[in-house]
């Protein structure tokens, strides 16, 4: 009988067009589910630990992101996981030496992007074709259920990566407040986040809001506009030019809720 379980997939890709194409295609399918998207190899390792996906679509180069596919593969096997995902490489690389190295490091299949008929549907359809085999040969996951404290720790790490990426300084007072606000908003809807955080730190809600917005404003004032647009993908009011506090917090809360919960 055909296995009806969804194939869970992590996408590690730095080309926004390719990400959108693959995401949009998988969203139409009822036998696959995208559990996360990232252009950073280290963040991808965190997501693998959290999700334990059945398969990974891995861009070998990651020129616009962080790290590269070979480093990711090496670190993936050093993690000592009970269940290793099926790794499907996509690449523009034509070097037989490099591709052989990827295979030796654990790549299960390689698709070259320079073929004239290549689209983002190609890797997805290959995984669909192999879905039952991938799930049947996966080593059972015996990892104990994640505790709420460990879930919060991993979520905090993810949030710090995002804040660092857009240039919000860990030294800024608002950095800690933003982290706490995004953690709370990811898990529940709270009418007044600033009041809850202010109570914890014995501050006024106004001072907490001001510290968070100032941290955001400084990042957008000092950052490279193109880099910010690549890292922060939510729409920003053109005239204002910087995210509001609510927009910023819930952009990330929605992202993590969709990917991690």
Domain positions in the chain:
7-136, 148-260
- Residue 29 CB neighbours (<10 A): 14
For the domain with range 148-260, which CATH number is right: 1.20.1630.10, 2.60.40.10, 2.40.40.20, 1.10.10.10?
1.10.10.10
pLDDT in tens, 111-133: 999 888 899 999 999 999 999 89
Nearest Cα residue to 219 out of 252, 194, 242: 242
pLDDT of residue 3: 40
Show Cβ contacts of residue 212 under 8 Å, excluding neighbours closer than 6 positions: 174, 177, 178, 181, 194, 245, 249
pLDDT of residue 135: 85
Given a cut of 90, is residue 89 above it in pLDDT?
yes
Q: Which of 228-232, 241-245, 256-260 has the highest mean pLDDT?
A: 241-245
Q: Which fold has domain 7-136?
A: Rossmann fold (3.40.50)
Per-residue pLDDT band for 141 (boundaries 50, 70, 90) equals very low
User: What pTM did the predictor assign?
Assistant: 0.58
- Residue 149 CB neighbours (<10 A): 8
Cα atoms in the 13 Å half-sphere on the side-chain side of 73: 24
Report the C-alpha gap between 34 and 154 in whole angstroms: 19
Region 200-229: what's the mean pLDDT?
94
Region 239-258: what's the mean pLDDT?
89
Report the C-alpha gap between 170 and 227 in whole angstroms: 19
């Amino acid at each position: 009988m055909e296995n009806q379980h969804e194939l869970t997939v992590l996408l590690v890709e730095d080309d926004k067009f390719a990400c959108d194409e693959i995401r949009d295609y998988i969203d139409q399918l009822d036998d696959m589910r995208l559990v996360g998207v990232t252009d950073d190899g280290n963040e991808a390792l965190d997501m693998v630990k959290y999700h334990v996906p059945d398969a990974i679509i891995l861009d070998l180069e990651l020129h616009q992101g962080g790290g590269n596919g070979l480093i990711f593969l090496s670190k993936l096997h050093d993690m000592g996981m009970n269940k290793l995902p099926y790794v499907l490489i996509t690449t523009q690389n034509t070097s037989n030496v490099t591709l052989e190295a990827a295979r030796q490091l654990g790549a299960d299949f390689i698709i070259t992007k320079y073929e004239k008929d290549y689209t983002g549907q190609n890797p997805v359809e290959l995984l669909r074709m192999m879905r039952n085999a991938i799930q049947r040969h996966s080593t059972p996951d015996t990892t104990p259920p994640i505790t709420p404290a460990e879930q919060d720790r991993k979520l905090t790490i993810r949030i710090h990566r995002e804040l660092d990426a857009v240039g919000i300084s860990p030294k800024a007072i608002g950095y800690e407040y933003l982290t706490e606000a995004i953690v709370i908003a990811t898990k529940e809807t709270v009418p007044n986040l600033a009041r809850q955080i202010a109570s914890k730190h014995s501050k006024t809600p106004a001072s907490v809001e001001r510290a968070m917005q100032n941290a955001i404003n400084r990042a957008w004032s000092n950052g490279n506009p193109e880099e910010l647009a690549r890292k922060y993908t939510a729409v920003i009011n053109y005239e204002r030019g910087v995210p509001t506090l609510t927009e910023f917090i819930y952009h990330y809360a929605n992202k993590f809720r969709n990917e991690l919960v």
